[in-house]
Every structure is written in C-alpha cells, then in structure tokens.
Structure 1
C-alpha cells in the first residue's frame, strides 16, 4: 500500500501510476526497488519532475517498502536500521485561521488541545495565495491571543502558508519572536527560494520550508539559502527512500528535519517509521485537521493517545485496512 499527495489535483498522480508506471513494474522483482523507481523517474521526467509525477513515485516507493517488509516479516523501521524511539509526541496542526475571528481561533485551539494533549500547537493560515500581507496586524493579534491562551511555556508554531512579502514576513516574524513562538513556517511563496533564505537569515526565530519541495536537489537549495528547518512530505517527495535521503542531507548540514504530514493513514504510518530512525528528532509529529477520517477505512488507524504516537510493530507499514470499505470507496482511473 502506498499513498500519493491528495492535494489539489492529486488524482493526477494515480493516473500517472496507472497509465505510465504500473505497466513498467509488472513482472519485475520488487527487491530491485531503487533501480525500478530511478528508471521510472527518468522515464517520466518531462511530467515534472516536480508535482504529480514525484508524488506518484512517492506512493510507489512506500508501497514497495510495505511489500518488502511483509515479505521479510519485519516492520519497515527494522529494515531502515532500527528505531531510536517507539513513541513520538504529536503536535496539533490547526488550519483555516485566516478566515476566523480571534474568538473562533481560540475556540478551535482550546478544543484541539483538550482533545489531543499535544506537545505543541501550530496555527495555520491557509489564506488566498494570490494575495500578500492581507491582514498583518490581525494575524499578529491572533498569534498573541493564542500565546495568552496557552501560556508562556507552551511550544507554538505559526504557518503563514506563503502569505507574506519578504518585508511583511520579517515584520510578522519579529512579532512572533517577541511572543516566544518556536518556528515560522513558509512565510513567503515557496518558489522564491532566495527570498525565503533572506527571511530566515534576518530573523532569530527558526524559519521552516520544504513541504512543496519535490527533489533532494531543491531541498539542498533551500538549506543553502539559509533555511534551518526543512519539511519535506513523504507523500510528495520520494516516499520512504526520499525522506531517508532528506534526513541524511539535513544531518549533514546541521538543520532540523520536521516533515510535513497531513495524511492520517498510509503517509502518516510511513512517516512514523522514518522518524523513529532519526537520532536527533527535534520536534513532535504533525497531526493535522481531519485525522479522524482514517478510522473509516483502517481497522487500526494510528491515532495519538495522550499526545503520543506508537510505532507500528507488524510487518511492513503495520496497518490493517477494511478491504470491503476500501473497495466501496474506490474510483476507476482512466486515461
């Protein structure tokens, strides 16, 4: 089982798999994993290499690791070299705050914290990406209100979802520093790598980026620009193999690896296996909005218990899904 990014247009990844990748894999040895996927990457390079094609390869990579683990009757983390930890704390990733009033932001933050007991909270904006610096004063006011609600010692992150200009991001970042926020995520458009680096270098707060980065080379460019916390997504960039490469790259450059992860099922479990192998894991694991939906398909959805995720011990990814329910929800992929 594998999972591609379901973000806007994500169905395109499954179409690419069905029409251009799966036929090339039929009859091949799944233990030739790296050769097979590198061949497909170069075969489909003109479809990207970023975006739908890369997410398709990520899904196949996770599926091949799952298959390998089941064949060898071992959980994936064992195949990756072993786990430093069997439990990982979660952080509540709370989106949609660009459209909420201060009272509405506080209500949903309070609800998530009381329900999940997270080690940290990240408030996300999810605003209109065609506009910049829409309500800087209002954004800072919401950040200030959340700090007051949760107290001075609670770990907080702020995800701008690419909402500011360089100047606007620096202004907001300085306010977040005064409020004691721990990280400032994607303050400007992700494709403006030099601008992201400028913001990162001019602020003391840790600036993070990388959830919309699809290749190891692009992640290297972010690090070289000055970003000190990188957030690639296992369902977008390389799957388990790709995220392990990102972990090595981050370790070599002395930056934090804190993967973006909004999928509560396959992508999430794959993410846990990789993060368990990271020696210096510096932040909790993302638990985004709508995580409850995994319970409708999986018999053993990975849910945080008292703020902690448990590492699966069964072979492969370690998940059990309801085949009847999965089939009921399936849709045909056409050319």
Structure 2
C-alpha cells in the first residue's frame, strides 16, 4: 500500500473510532468566550472558627468557591484582593495552569511559600470548583478520574502544649472513638518556639489516653515540630514500644538533617511536609529529610494545581501523601478531589471536627459525609459541596 493511501485509510479509521466515543459532558453548552468576572477574598472569624474563603464569579453568573489556610487571614485576604484578583479577572477560568504560574511568579518576591501559596490556593481551588460547575462534572473527573471514592480518616484533638487538662484530653479522644474514628492523633502543639519543653506532656498524655481507647483504635502523636532530633528519637522510641503506628512532624522543617536522623533511628513511619508549600520544597524534603510519608496541606500549598505536582514529585520517590487537613468543608472537599484521583495520595486523610467550625458549616447545604470512619468523596459537581449563597452573603457580607 502506498504511504498516502495508508495515511488516508488510517485517518478514516481514526475518524470512525472517535465518532463512536461519547462527547464531553456539556462541552457544547460552555460559552467559548466565558471569562472571570470577579475574584473576592472574604474573611470571617468567630472564635476558633475563622478562615479565608474565595468567591470567583464567571461572566455567565456561575460561582466557584475556594478556601485558604486560616493563618494570617487579613494578610491572605489582602494578597488575594490586591494582587491576585487583578491578574485573574478577565481571564478564562479554564486556564488554571497559566493563571497559577502567573500568580506565583509575579508575586514570588513575597516568598515562595506561606502567605503567598495560602492565597493562591484559595483562588486556585475556587477556579477548579468553577470549572467543574461549568462543565457539569466533579473536579476529580478533570484530573484523572476516580481511583477511590472513600478514604480512612484520622481525627485530631488538641493539647495546646499541655494546657488542656488530661481528663479533658481523654474525653476528647474517647468521644472521637465513639463517633467511629479508628485512627486518632494527639496534636501536642508544642511548637518550635518551645522546643524540647521541660514539662513535656506527650508521654504522660499518650500513655493515659492509650489506656482509655480500645485496641482497635490507633493513636499517634504530632509534636508540631516541637523536638530537636535527639529528643524526637527519645520520645519516638518510647512510643514505638507502645505500638504507635505513625509519628508526625517531630522536628522543625527548617532542619531537615535533624529530621533524617529521626527517620533513620526509628522503625515506625515518620510524616512531614505540612510546611513544604511547593513541589521544589517537597523534593528537598524528600532528598534531605527522608520522611516515609508526606503530609501536604493542599490549601496551604497552592491549591489543586500545585497539589497535583507535589503528588507526582512524591510519586517519583515512591512516597505516599497523607494530607494535612484542618478545615472541615471546602478545604476538605478540595482535598478529597485529589485523593479520589491520585494513586499515591490517600492511605489516610486528616479531619478536624466540624463542631469547631459551626459558623462556616452553616452556609453549606450539606457537609462532608462519613461512613465507618472513612471520609466520603462529595458527589456534586466542582469540589462537590453546595454553598447556600443567601446564607453566605448574610455571613460574609459581600
């Protein structure tokens, strides 16, 4: 057969093949000239319940919602409204990759992580929510499909560095176990500025709480980067002997070499990475700190667009992602979309009790659902949850 005839025949065959494939959902219904009409960062604070939500509206009136980390809420809001919004308004909501690069590199002098990536995350997640709604599909369909639709959740409770009385800490743990959570985390909240405290509560609290929980419930510790290497090893070996399964963020992120000594000294998996906000920071963490598991927080780390890259970098080194996740609504919804689609993301996921966030939860028609201790993938389009615009406007005042 002549080359030209072969190509013609092949083209006809390929055309026939595509003729039999279903069209993309709603592809013909999406205006090609649709643009981003407005971007607004909104803060709210009601005691512990505080945060930054991002509302993105398209020119056809469709709205997407995202959430940023709650640290430095006024600074994050300022970056969103004064720096990011002018760069995004007037652009196509489908150009999330280009918009992410633009938001990051045009503002990187603010620092390549922290406040900037918090702000970008809120806008980016809102854009993905908007894209999914415009196309009539959930976000996981746009980033790889559904690898899983439920993930075992672990619930954390706070010690405030030991300020929470032991009976109260035990009560918190037992309550969570009774709700069906099979994995619990002590958030010791020692912090870097109180490193290696003289009156370290962790061993005392862990031992007492462990005795009050059934054997079927795993309990692990997060010192919140409150130890140097030698102290982290000392505590880790003791808890290792008590059957602890995971050890989260034992050392400051600023000393990855110290973290590596802890990883080498223990047999239990060590998690780190909550404060590594980009793919480059995560790669350095893996190469130098050598944690067994990466606990990226996607609403701190640039949102879904950068979160996917972080997952793929971790995958290059055969590392699993167990997301840090302390927001019960839109932050959890964005996290679950990535968990649904990415294979090395999701042997577990963190969850913070919605009871602590009653104000923000009140603007949603329905929250994240659980079954047998697992967090379930939201079923709606976009990020999957539905914000009641009337209640949101009353709360946020936009």
Q: Shared fold by TM > 0.5?
A: yes
Per-residue deviation, 1:282: 5.4
Per-residue deviation, 1:87: 2.1
Q: Indicate how the Cα distance of structure 1 residues 192 and 72 shifts in structure 2: closer, same or farther if over 3 A, else same.
A: same
Correspondence 1:174 to 2:174: no
Q: Which residue of 2 aligns with 1:27?
A: 90
Correspondence 1:265 to 2:329: yes
Correspondence 1:233 to 2:311: no
| C-alpha separation in 1, matches of 2:173 and 2:339 | 26
Out of 126, 129, 149, the position equivalent to 2:212 is 149
Greater strand proportion: 2
Q: Which residue of 2 aligns with 1:245?
A: 309
Q: Which residue of 2 aligns with 1:61?
A: 124
| C-alpha separation in 2, matches of 1:267 and 1:300 | 14
Per-residue deviation, 1:158: 0.6
Per-residue deviation, 1:320: 1.1
Correspondence 1:297 to 2:360: no
Q: Which residue of 2 aligns with 1:325?
A: 391
| C-alpha separation in 1, matches of 2:170 and 2:334 | 32
| C-alpha separation in 1, matches of 2:253 and 2:394 | 37
Deviation track 1:104-147 (CA, whole Å, cap 9, x = no partner) reads 32111001211x20131111111353112225664212112222
CA contact (8 A) 2:154 2:348 kept: yes
CA contact (8 A) 1:89 1:308 kept: yes
Deviation track 1:38-93 (CA, whole Å, cap 9, x = no partner) reads 01211101111211111111111111111111111100111111112222222111
Per-residue deviation, 1:175: 0.8
CA contact (8 A) 1:176 1:205 kept: no
Q: Indicate how the Cα distance of structure 1 residues 155 and 280 shifts in structure 2: closer, same or farther if over 3 A, else same.
A: farther
- For residue 305 of structure 2, give the secondary structure of its aligned residue in structure 1: helix
Q: Indicate how the Cα distance of structure 1 residues 15 and 249 shifts in structure 2: closer, same or farther if over 3 A, else same.
A: same
- Of structures 1 and 2, the one with the larger relative CO (CA 8 A, separation 6+) is 1
- For residue 83 of structure 2, give the secondary structure of its aligned residue in structure 1: helix
Per-residue deviation, 1:96: 2.4
Deviation track 1:4-23 (CA, whole Å, cap 9, x = no partner) reads 1112x132112111111111
Deviation track 1:221-246 (CA, whole Å, cap 9, x = no partner) reads 11112111111111111211222112
| C-alpha separation in 1, matches of 2:74 and 2:316 | 35
CA contact (8 A) 1:59 1:239 kept: yes
Matching of residues 1-16 of structure 1 within 5 Å = 1-7=65-71, 9-16=72-79
Per-residue deviation, 1:34: 0.7
CA contact (8 A) 1:229 1:257 kept: yes
| Count of matched residue positions in the alignment of Structure 1 and Structure 2 | 330
Q: Which residue of 2 aligns with 1:288?
A: 352
Q: Which has the larger radius of gyration?
A: 2
| C-alpha separation in 1, matches of 2:332 and 2:364 | 13
Q: Which residue of 2 aligns with 1:125?
A: 188
| C-alpha separation in 2, matches of 1:330 and 1:139 | 39
Q: Which residue of 1 aligns with 2:267?
A: 204
Q: Indicate how the Cα distance of structure 1 residues 136 and 165 shifts in structure 2: closer, same or farther if over 3 A, else same.
A: farther
- For residue 204 of structure 1, give the secondary structure of its aligned residue in structure 2: coil
Correspondence 1:184 to 2:247: yes
| C-alpha separation in 2, matches of 1:318 and 1:14 | 24
More displaced, 9-18 or 272-281? 272-281
Question: What is the alpha-carbon root mean square deviation over aligned residues?
Answer: 1.9
Correspondence 1:195 to 2:258: yes
| C-alpha separation in 2, matches of 1:11 and 1:304 | 32
Q: Indicate how the Cα distance of structure 1 residues 177 and 282 shifts in structure 2: closer, same or farther if over 3 A, else same.
A: farther
CA contact (8 A) 1:82 1:277 kept: yes
Q: Indicate how the Cα distance of structure 1 residues 324 and 101 shifts in structure 2: closer, same or farther if over 3 A, else same.
A: same
TM-score (norm 2): 0.78
